[in-house]
Structure 1
Amino acid sequence: MSDIAIKVENLGKLYRLGEVGTGTLSQDLKRWWAINRGKEDPFAKIGEANDRTTKGASDFVWALKDVSFEVKQGEVLGIIGRNGAGKSTLLKLLSKVTAPSTGNIKVKGRIASLLEVGTGFHPDLTGRENVFLNGAILGMSRKEINSKFDEIVDFAGVERYIDTPVKRYSSGMYVRLAFAVAAFLEPEILIVDEVLAVGDAEFQRKCLGRMRDVSKNDGRTVLFVSHNMAAVQKLCNRGIFFRNGQIHLTGEIDHVISKYLESSDAIRSIYEIPKPDFTPENLGFAYCLKVEDINGNLINEIPVGKAWQIRVQFKLNKKVEHFIIALGIVNTMDVNLRTTWSKEMDLDAGEYEALFKEDQLLLAAGTYQLALGLSSYERAFQYIENVAAITISDVPDSTLDKSIVRTTGVGLILNPMDIEILNLTKSI
């Protein structure tokens, strides 16, 4: 293991959904007895794959299962996958935040982890005190920490607040100082989760540059988790694609990113909409039934610039003149970026399907909510906020001309969507 920084063999982490423990004293005793005899967890055999979009038959789930890989010294490894794929669980196991259920981990050198805002910081201590505390935890002497202290403060840009308790820091200041401590106190292995997204754009560029420097110039190992594919491509030379708690693919970073982006539109998740409580005003004239994509799925993670389509099934209880259906896209700050609506139509009673299509989804990377509205010229029948969510993942610079994504004061200007209305049944 001379040039191997991290070696993971058959790693697994089993969790029980719901309360702490297994739910009954007898089950807890069975697990305790098996573990003390060096036997396998008796509930590991019934544990299911970690697919958060489906309902399972077991209360036990493998957050990670049969994970094996090696990371060489000085390598920058990108770890990608959708939310819930097991990425953060892996990093917590590597950082010894929690213990594995199966397998083992061999690590050569000290690990500095940045898994969430303020990792390792004590809120009542000042920034200065936390720097020395974290350095001591990493095994650094006071002299070594002093020699790096000015660089840490300068990089973090928090000199004015360095003697203020960190509980009074903003989340961005917290992350700035935490990353600077992790990066400048010379750990052999640096682990960074999505936490850098808290920082502003200028600080994110500094962090990526620093991680590149510690790898190329200092020969340290970096594990980087992010949903920003452009950042992963720039920083990493090899990648691992996690799916449902297992390694789906490993290899050159460009190949892994390409396969991840290709597969991300296959996520199955159909949004059933409960029947609304009718009011005297709308009389139940029209209401939505289901939101899905053209293949019966909802594409909730797609790359910037990719063609996409959403279909909405709805029902009319009686003939409606001047009927309109509208689809809105809302960002995390509840700003409506764009609403697209159909032309007015006279529709008979029955079930219909509206197909919204767009050649390029020109949204910045992030999570967005969809809103639906059914109305006529005279009245509104139904309006549903947050009917579904989509996650837009960034793409490598080479795959999209970013100049076509234009912004305004409140959001993005998008190409118009095509809308097609299909009659599923002539009458009810």
Structure 2
Amino acid sequence: MNKPIIHVENLSKAYQIGQIGTGTISRDIERFWMTKILGKDDPFLKIGETNDRSIKGDSDIVWSLKDINFEINQGEAVGIIGKNGAGKSTLLKLLSRVTSPTTGEIKVKGRIASLLEVGTGFHPELSGKENIYLNGAILGMRKKEITRKLDEIIDFSGVERYIDTPVKRYSSGMYVRLAFAVAAHLESEILIVDEVLAVGDAEFQKKCLGKMSDISKGQGRTVLFVSHNMAAVKNLCTKGIVLENGLIKHSGDLEDSLSYYLKNNLQEDELSKIHFEDSPNKKTQILEVSIKDAEENLVSEYFTNQEIFIHVKLKNDFLEENLRLNFSLLDKFENVIFIKRRAINFVGINTWIIRIPKDILIANNYLIGLAIDVPKVKLLDFPAKKLNLKIVDIGQEEFKSGDVDNGFFKMPIEWEK
């Protein structure tokens, strides 16, 4: 049985909003006396609040993280998932010892290599090669170790042409390429990567995911990865931790963690359900439209290997037959890429389900349009607010093979020579 390589117990981090200090000299002295002299908890942190950005708080103390507990075993790849402001980056900074916790403790066995922000550990006036030595030394590498891996680091970074140029002339993408190359080639037991990889291009992101997968599965090292790209997390990680307002809301198997996050964090611009009031003035009307998975759960993102079910609740008081429901799939610019029509003969209220098979749509952002075609009556369009449908890639073979699919549909094309 693997022993935990990272053990976090009752970890909390508090920040003060606005002015530095407690606001008065007497309270500053009280804080100093209680914490530094008597060794007790800060009395002013007890009134602190969790970090919910959507509401106005009453305290100037905010808990970026509050009572975090978890263990990570050697060789595990763990995805830290959550919205902006959930506390993901703060957690990685604490684990990397960039900052210290307010309360709680962290026990780490082994050396940590971390990539948290663009240009961390780089000196702008030094060349790329000089910064490899500098950054490597900061991460704990010896000069002989860096020299032995120098060519490999430069080759992986893809910035060989500019390796003797001061990094102040580098783009943010070149910064990330070089920094990740150094961190990934450090023989550490733990690699921590924040969502800084989003700065890089798609090709380099796939290259990084492949390297991190090799580090975790091939070399048995531990990887902690933060990203808003759910496909990247799914490709790399086997376990997940979901943070919300500085609290752990779910941890465990990655599939369960992703399902929890996607079900409980629908964004306003990623609507999966739209409801309309029944109008007595409309004999035929769309009452509700929702996008669900096979278990009828509302989800904001779907993977390419998932079936998608669009539930359309309709009202019809016309007695005529031959009603048609028009289903259209549009790109993000509202250009129609597919239309399908189906006769829907019924009277009253009924729900129709449109099923999109798995492995048909390529990863992309889509819009769904609906309309009811009533005989001798003008076409009744779906209201202007359309449902967003987001499809993301699935499968590690995709970033390993280097093949790229562009467009909307997966076509069964055969190659011959």
TM class by smaller structure = 0.5 to 0.7
Residue 17 (structure 1) aligns with:
17
Find the aligned partners of 1:364 and 1:2 in 2 and give their Cα distance: 39
Mapping for residues 5-404 of structure 1, pairs under 5 Å: 5-36=5-36, 37-265=38-266, 302-303=300-301, 337-338=333-334, 364=364, 395=392, 397=394
> 1:20 Cα deviation (Å)?
2.8
State the identity %: 61
Give the letter for the 2:72 counterpart. V
- 1:307–1:53: structure 2 CA closer, same or farther, 3 Å change rule? farther
Describe the shift of the 1:307–1:2 C-alpha distance in structure 2 as closer, same or farther (beyond 3 A): closer
Q: Tell me the TM-score normalized by structure 2.
A: 0.67
Q: CA deviation at 1:97?
A: 1.2
CA distance in 2, matches of 1:266, 1:69: 27
User: Which consecutive unaligned segments of at least 5 residues does structure 2 have?
Assistant: 270-287, 290-298, 311-331, 337-354, 357-361, 367-386, 396-403, 410-417
Q: 1:266 to 1:198 in 2, by over 3 A?
A: closer
Deviation at 1:96, TM superposition (A): 1.1
Alpha-carbon offset, residue 135 of structure 1: 1.8
Does the Cα contact within 8 Å between 2:2 and 2:73 map onto a contact in 1? no
Amino acid at match of 2:254: I
Superposed CA deviations along residues 302-353 of structure 1, whole A, max 9, x for unmatched, are 4369999xxxxxxxxxxxxxxxxxxxxxxxxxxx94599xxxxxxxxxxxxx
For 2:67, what is the secondary structure of its paired residue?
A: strand
Cα separation, partners in 2 of 1:207 and 1:365, compared to 1, 3 Å: farther
SS at match of 2:266: helix
Report if aligned partners of 1:117, 1:175 keep a CA contact under 8 Å in 2: yes
Alignment of 1:406-417 (within 5 A): 406=408
Superposition CA RMSD, Å: 3.8
Q: Is the 8 A contact 1:76 1:238 kept in 2?
A: yes
Cα gap change, 1:69 to 1:365, in 2 (>3 Å): farther
TM-score, structure 1 length as denominator? Answer: 0.65
Q: What's the offset of the Cα at 1:49? A: 1.3
Deviation at 1:3, TM superposition (A): 2.7
Secondary structure of the structure 2 residue equivalent to 1:46:
coil
- The question of whether the paired residues in 1 share the 8 Å contact of 2:49 and 2:59 is answered with yes
Letter in 2 for 1:28: D
- Partner Cα separation in structure 1 for residue 363 and residue 30 of structure 2: 51
Task: Count matched residues.
Answer: 315
Is residue 77–residue 225 contact of structure 2 (8 Å, CA) maintained in 1?
yes
Q: Which amino acid aligns with 2:220?
A: G
What is the Cα deviation at residue 26 of structure 1? 2.8
1:244-282 deviations in whole A, cap 9, x for unaligned? Answer: 1010000110110011000012889xxxxxxxxxxxxxx
Report deviation, 1:192.
Answer: 0.3
Secondary structure of the residue aligned to 1:45 is coil
Pairwise CA distance, 1:112: 1.2
Deviation digits for residues 104-125 of structure 1, max 9, x if unmatched?
0011111111111111111111
Distance 2:240 2:211 in 1: 19
Cα offset, 1:95, TM superposition: 1.0
Alpha carbons 1:229, 1:394 under 8 Å: kept: no
Say if 1:80 and 1:242, in contact at 8 Å, map to a contact too.
Answer: yes
